[in-house]
Amino acid sequence: MKVKKRNIFRLIWFSLVAIFFIWQWTTYQSRNLPEDTFKNDNKVSVEQSSDKITFLANNSRNQNEIIFFQGGLTDPKAYAPICREIAKNGITCHLIKMNWRMPQWDYKKIKTMFNLKNGKYIIGGHSQGAKMASQFVYENTGLMKGLFLLGTSHPRDFDLSDRSISTIKLYGELDGLASVSEVMENKNKLPKNTDLIEIKGGNHSQFGYLGKLLTDNASEIDLDEQQRLTLDKLIVFFHKIDNEK
C-alpha cells in the first residue's frame, strides 16, 4: 500500500513539473503577430536564413543598419514586428537567430555574418539579448556605431562608462525581471551619454510578442502601446546617430 501511495505521489509530482515546464515554454513562444509581419511590400522586403531574419528597408533613408539580439529562450519571431516597423521607417534591421535560443552562447557569430568594420551597424536587443549586445560592445571597442538596450539591468558585470558610443536604454516601470531599482543600480556602468528612458506602465514581456513571463508583473498599458512607445524612442535614437555622420 505504501509503495502504491509513493508511486501515485511521484506521478503527481512529475506531472506538475511537466505542466510547469510546458507552461513556461509556451510563454516564451511568439504569439499574436500581425498578419503582415513577414510579407513583402513596397516598403519592406523580408529575407530569412538559418541565422537571421532581415527586414530590408526598400526606401532606405538611413545609412546605418540594425543588429537585433533576441532574449534568452524566447522565440526570435517575437521581435519580428518591431524589426519590421524599424525597416518601415527606412532602416534595415537584422533579427539574429541564436542557437538553442541562447544569446550568451552565440552572440559572437555576427563577426562572420557582417562586415562590421564598415562602421554602419547599431547593435542591441531585449533582456539577455541586450546583455550580450552590451558585452559585444565591451569586447569590441569602436566596432559599433550605437547600442540600444531593452528591458535589462545590464551592463552589470562590466563597465562601459568610459566608452564613447551613442546608447539608449528603455526599461519598463513594472518590469519584474529587470526592475527599476536594478536598472538604477547599474546606470553608472553605462556610457555617460546614455539616454535612459522609462516606459510608464510597461513590463518585461511586452518588449516582444510573448506570453507573460514568469516573475514579470502585469502591465498597465497594452502590448500595442508598449511597442509603439518603444519604437518611437528607438527611431528618434537611430536617426540621431545617422545625423551625427
Residue 12: predicted pLDDT: 54
Taking Cα atoms as reference points, which of 179, 236, 210 lies closest to residue 62? 236
Determine the length of the chain.
245
Residue 3: predicted pLDDT: 53
Rounded mean pLDDT, 18-45: 79
Banded pLDDT at 132 (limits 50, 70, 90): very high
Banded pLDDT at 133 (limits 50, 70, 90): very high
What is the per-residue pLDDT across 48-62, written as a single tens digit (0 to 9) for each? 999 999 999 998 878
* Residue in this structure with the C-alpha cell 552590451, named with its chain if needed: 134
Query: What's the rounded Cα separation, in Å, for the pair 75 and 71?
Result: 8
Ranges of each domain in the chain: 31-243
Per-residue pLDDT for 118 more than 70?
yes
Could you tell me the CATH superfamily of domain 31-243? Answer: Alpha/Beta hydrolase fold, catalytic domain (3.40.50.1820)
- 171 Cβ partners below 8 Å, 6+ apart? 150, 151, 152, 178, 180, 183, 196, 197, 198, 199
Per-residue pLDDT for 164 more than 70?
yes
Query: What's the rounded Cα separation, in Å, for the pair 59 and 79?
Result: 22
Taking Cα atoms as reference points, which of 29, 111, 129 lies closest to residue 70? 129
Residue 61: predicted pLDDT: 75
pTM, to two decimals: 0.91
Does the CA dihedral 80-74-109-121 come out positive or negative?
A: positive
